[in-house]
Structure 1
Amino acid sequence: MKRTILILITVFLLSSVPANAAVKKEKRLWQDESIYSIMIDRFNDGDTNLNKNVNTKDPNVYNGGDFQGIIDKLDYIHDMGFTAVRLTPIFDNASNGYHGYWVTDFYKTDEHFGSIKAFQKLVNEAHKRKMKVLIDFTANNVAKDHQWVTDPGKKDWFHKKQPIQNWNDQNELENGWVDGLPDLNQDNPKVKNYLIKAAKWWIEKTDIDGYSLPEVNMVPKSFWSDFSTAVKSVKQNFFLIGIPAEKTPFIGTEYEKAGIDSLYNASLSTDLRKAFANTDQSLQPVFSELEKEKKQYKHSELLANYLDNEYTTRLTQDIVKNKQFPGSRWKTALTYLYTVPGIPVIYYGTDIALNGGHIPDNRGQMSFRAEKELIDFITKIGALRNELPSLTRGNLKLLYEKNGMVVYKREYKGEISVIAINNTNKSQSIMLEGNLEGGKELRGLLGGNTVKSEGDKYTIILDRDLSEIYVLADKTGMNVPFVAAILIIIILAGLFLYLIIKRSKINRNE
C-alpha cells in the first residue's frame, strides 16, 4: 500500500509538469542514464547452490551474492528510476577473489556468481526493462596464480616484477605491479590481441552495453585507442567508462581522445564529499570544478559523477563523523548529483545509507529490510530526472550561492528547471530577480510548493537541509493534479483500512 501511494504521488507530481515545460526526449542518450553500481558478491544471494566456501561473517571472502540475486532485484532497481547497472568483474577469480579483480580466466564466469547462461539471462531481463548493463573489464593485471604467470612461453606477457615507488610517474604506473598482482604488458601484440578478442567475445556472447575499465590510467593510452575501436565495431553505441586508480594524477582528456567515452569524476567527487558530509559547506568549489571540466573535456556531460564507490570509504561514515543525520544529508547530496551535467553513478547501499570505512568495510552486504525513506526519495528524484530533459541535457547557470545555499537553473529547448539546495543548518529565503521570465511561477516537484512571481522576482524559501526542483510554468490556480492525488490517497487509505477490518472480522468468525 505504501509503495502504491508513493507511485501515485510521483505520477501525479509529474503530471503537474506543464505541457509547455516538458520536452519529449527524441532518443535516450548516455548522458540521460543513471547507473546503479553493484559489487556482485555483496548484493543479493539468489542461488544458494553456488555458495562454495562462503562465509557471510568474513568481509574478506565470498559472501554469496550472484547473478540470480541481481535478477531477483532488477524491479527494485528499475522502480527507483535507474536506467543501467554496472557490475564488478564477472570473470573467474582466484580463491577469495570476491571482488572480481583477481582474474584467472577471461572466458569463464566466476562459479560463485553463476554460469554464462545465468549472466545472459540477467542481461536479457535488464533489456526487457529497457535497462543497460555494463561490466568491469580488467586489463591491467591478473591473479597471482594465473596459469600465464608460470608459463615460460608467456614471460614477456608481463612487465618485470617491481612495486610502484612514485605514484606521480606515469611510466611506473603503467609498468609497476599493484598489490603484488602480475602487471600485463599491453605493448606486447599477443597480450593486446588476447584482451581485445576476449572483450569482443563477451559483447557478442551476452549483448552487454558497455565496459567500465578499472585502473584505466595504469594501461597505455595506445592500447585503449585500439581497444575502443575494436569493441565499438561489435555493437553500436557501446559505452566505455574509465575508472582512474585511487590517488594518482590523472589527465582525463588524453583518455577521452583515446576513445574512452566517460571517466569516473574523481576531482568532483572529492569536492562533493567535502560539501555534503556536513552542513554550511560552500558549494562554490563543485561549480568551479564543473566549469573547469566543461572547458577541458569535449563531452563533459558524459563524466560519471559519484559520491563513493568500492575503493572509497562510504559517504555515510563521513556524515556520521560530523554528527549529521545520514538520511537528510544523502537527500541533499543526491539532489545535486541528479541535477547537474554528468551521469550519476550510485553505489549499491546508498539507497539504505549503508555505512563503512576502508576496504573491505565499504563493501558490506546489502539489506532489503531497511527503512524505505531514502529509497522513496531516490524513486521520486529518479522519476523527475527521467521525465525532464533539462536535468540531463540543459545548459547550467548558477543563480545564487552563499555559504551552502545554492540556486541554479538548467534550460533545454524552452524547458527550464530551477534547482534550490539548502545545504545549511538554517531556513533560507532567497529572492531571484532578473534571472527568470516574469509573470510565471516556479512549480515544485519534490515538495509540491509553488513560488509565484512578483514581476520578475521569485522568493524561494527552504527549510534547513532541504532541496526542491522547480519547473518554470505559466501561473495557475489550484493545483488540480496534486489535489486529485491527495484525494485518491485518502480513498485508498480508507479502502485499505476497510479491508483490514473486514479481514479481521472474518478471522474472528472463523
Structure 2
Amino acid sequence: MLAVGYVLLALSALAVGGTHAATADQWRREVIYQILTDRFANPSQPTEACADLSTYCGGTWAAGVPYLDYIRKLGATAVWISPIPDNTDGGYHGYWQQNMSRLNANFGDANGLTQFVEACHKLEIKVMLDVVINHVGNQDSSDHNDFHQFYPFNSVDHYHSYCIIQDFTNLQQVQLCRLSGLPDLNQSNTFVDGFLRDWIKSTLQTFGFDGLRYDTVMEVPAAYWASYTSDLGVFTIGEVDDGDVATVAPFQGPLDATLNYPMYWALRHAFQEKQSMWGISTTWKDCKASFQDTKLLGLFVDNHDNPRFLNINSDSVALANALAWILFAEGIPIIYYGTEQGFSGGNDPANREDLWRSGYQTSNAIFTLLTVLTTYRNTLPDSFFQAEQLERYVMDDLYVFVRGQVIVATTNGGNGHSTSASVPDLPFANGTRLIDIVAGKDAITVNNGTADIVIDDGACVELCLAPSPVRPRPLLCYGPSV
C-alpha cells in the first residue's frame, strides 16, 4: 500500500496524542460553527474585504487560533473546517483535491494544523474535518483519461468511465458519473479503496479530529459508506444535497447522520420566503417517520452551497426565528460563519465572504441573540438532548413546539409582525410560571396545561421555567431581543 506521506511525516515530527474520538452520543449537545479555512482568519490581519472571492484570500489554520475565543463567545462548542489535502488551482474551498498525501500549503503546514486542533481542544471545542472521497479536482488536460497530475490516483482504472451527471434522480448516474466534470473515483478499485481507508485512519490518528463531515455522500453507494466508516470510532455526518426525505434518510445508518437538507428547504420556504409554516410541520413529520435518529441530523439555515438567508430575505428578525428553531429542535445545529455578522452573499462564491471584513464584532444583534440562545442551550441537562420535539401549535405564520422543559414559538411574519395563540398540551403543572429567554421577562403562567403566547414585532419566543427558591435562575435565561 502506498504510504500516506504527510501523515507519516507528521507522526514522526509531532508529539500528537492520537485521536480524540467522539462518538455520536457525544455530539448530540454540540453547536457546530462551520468555517471555510481560507476565509476565517488571515495572518496578515487585513481589515478590508478580500478582493476576489473566487480564489484564495489567505486564511490559515495558525491564524485562526487567536480567534477561537470568538467562536466560544458565540456559544459554539465545535468547529467544522475545510478539507485539508493539496488542491488543484483555485481550490480555496478544499473540495478539489489533487494530492491526498500533502496538506494544502495555502492553509499552512502540519504544525499549524496541529496547533489549531490542540488549541480547540484546550477550549473544549471539538473539531470536525470535512472529507471528500467521491472525486478529485479539475483536470489540467483536455484528455478525460489523463490523470498524471493527481496523486496517488493517477491511473485510468482509479476512476469511473467518463460521463457527466445529467439526471440527479438517476442514482446509478449520480454514483458513476462526474459531478460538475470532476473525475469520479472508483471506490470498488482495490487500490483506491485501500488508500482511502489508510488515509482517513492515519489522518485521525495524526491530528486528533473528533468528527468527520463527508462531502457528496449520495454520489457514493450507501453500502460503501457503511463499510468505510464502520471502524473509525468518530462521529460521521454526510452531505446528501436533496430536499426529499426518502432520498436522504437511507444514508443514516451507513453514516451516523446526514445534514438535514429536507428541513433546510422547509425552513427556507417558511422563514425566508414566508410560505405557510405548515410546510415545516409536514417535513418534520416525514423526517420523524423516515430517519433512524433525527436528534443527530445536522440542522442549518446557511451554508457554503446556497445563497445566504439574508440574501433572499433581508429581515434579520426572520433570520432570528429560523436560528431559534434549529437551536432547540431535534438535531445538531450548525452555524455557518458570517451568519452571526449579518452576511448576505448570494450564489457561490459570494456566500463565501472573508470573516475579517466584519472585524469579528460581538455586539451586533444577531451575534448577541445567538450568544443568549446557545448559552442557555449549553446549560441544559443531557435529558433535553434525548427528549422528543413535540409539535403543539401551527398556523400559517406561527410554529410552536415543546422539547423537554423548553417551549419554542417562532413566526415567519418578520419585523413588525404580531401574532398570538393559546398553546395546549404543555408538560407543566397548573400555575407554573415561564420566562422568555429572548425578551428577558416573566411572560406566561400555565393554566390547565395551556399557555397564551403573544409574539410582538416578529420576535421569536423561547420559554423556560421561571426561577424559584429551589430552582435558581437559569444562566443567562434573560437576554436582549433582536
TM normalised by structure 1 equals: 0.79
Which residue does 1:347 correspond to in 2? 336
- Percent of aligned positions that are identical: 26
1:141–1:182 Cα contact (<8 Å) kept: yes
After the TM superposition, which residues 92-491 of structure 1 pair with which residues of structure 2 at under 5 Å, given as runs?
Answer: 92-143=86-137, 144-145=139-140, 147=148, 154-232=155-233, 238-245=234-241, 251-258=247-254, 260-279=255-274, 281-320=275-314, 325=315, 327-366=316-355, 367-369=357-359, 372-389=364-381, 392-411=385-404, 416-424=405-413, 425-433=416-424, 435=426, 436-450=428-442, 451-454=444-447, 456-473=449-466
Distance in structure 2 (CA, Å) of the matches to 1:391 and 1:309? 26
1:398–1:408 Cα contact (<8 Å) kept: yes
Deviates more, 1:339-348 or 1:385-394: 385-394
Distance in structure 2 (CA, Å) of the matches to 1:128 and 1:269? 32
Distance in structure 2 (CA, Å) of the matches to 1:222 and 1:480? 49
Residues 123 and 47 (structure 1), Cα distance of their counterparts in 2 relative to 1, 3 Å cut: farther
Aligned length: 437
Measure how far apart 1:314 and its partner are. Answer: 1.0
Distance in structure 2 (CA, Å) of the matches to 1:387 and 1:149? 47
Measure how far apart 1:365 and its partner are. Answer: 1.5
Distance in structure 1 (CA, Å) of the matches to 2:475 and 2:232? 48
Residues 152 and 110 (structure 1), Cα distance of their counterparts in 2 relative to 1, 3 Å cut: closer
Measure how far apart 1:355 and its partner are. Answer: 1.0
Structure 1 unaligned segments of length 5 or more: list them. 1-26, 50-54, 233-237, 487-510
Measure how far apart 1:429 and its partner are. Answer: 3.1
More helix by share: 1
Distance in structure 2 (CA, Å) of the matches to 1:292 and 1:251? 12
Letter in 1 for 2:270: A
Distance in structure 2 (CA, Å) of the matches to 1:58 and 1:214? 25
Distance in structure 2 (CA, Å) of the matches to 1:476 and 1:48? 49
Letter in 2 for 1:423: N
TM normalised by structure 2 equals: 0.84
Distance in structure 2 (CA, Å) of the matches to 1:272 and 1:119? 35
The reply on whether 1:34 has 2:27 as its aligned counterpart is: no
Residues 248 and 160 (structure 1), Cα distance of their counterparts in 2 relative to 1, 3 Å cut: farther
Measure how far apart 1:29 and its partner are. Answer: 2.8
1:40–1:113 Cα contact (<8 Å) kept: yes
Partner SS for 1:290: helix
User: Hey, which bits of structure 1, 4+ residues long, moved more than 6 A?
Assistant: 150-153, 247-250, 474-477, 479-483
Distance in structure 2 (CA, Å) of the matches to 1:353 and 1:282? 25
Letter in 1 for 2:248: G
Measure how far apart 1:198 and its partner are. Answer: 0.5
Distance in structure 1 (CA, Å) of the matches to 2:173 and 2:450? 57
1:340–1:391 Cα contact (<8 Å) kept: no
Measure how far apart 1:418 and its partner are. Answer: 1.4
2:300–2:334 Cα contact (<8 Å) kept: yes
Provide Cα deviations, 1:249-297, integer angstroms capped at 9, x if missing partner: 9633332232x11101111111111111155x43222132222212212
Measure how far apart 1:473 and its partner are. Answer: 4.9
Distance in structure 1 (CA, Å) of the matches to 2:397 and 2:336? 25
Distance in structure 1 (CA, Å) of the matches to 2:172 and 2:446? 59
Measure how far apart 1:118 and its partner are. Answer: 0.7
Partner SS for 2:264: helix
Distance in structure 2 (CA, Å) of the matches to 1:381 and 1:332? 11
Distance in structure 1 (CA, Å) of the matches to 2:133 and 2:457? 46
Q: What RMSD, in angstroms, separates the aligned Cα atoms of the two structures?
A: 2.9
Measure how far apart 1:475 and its partner are. Answer: 6.7
Residues 474 and 433 (structure 1), Cα distance of their counterparts in 2 relative to 1, 3 Å cut: farther
Partner SS for 2:402: strand
Residues 121 and 480 (structure 1), Cα distance of their counterparts in 2 relative to 1, 3 Å cut: closer
Letter in 2 for 1:352: Q
Structure 2 unaligned segments of length 5 or more: list them. 1-23, 141-146
Deviates more, 1:374-383 or 1:145-154: 145-154
Distance in structure 2 (CA, Å) of the matches to 1:364 and 1:470? 34
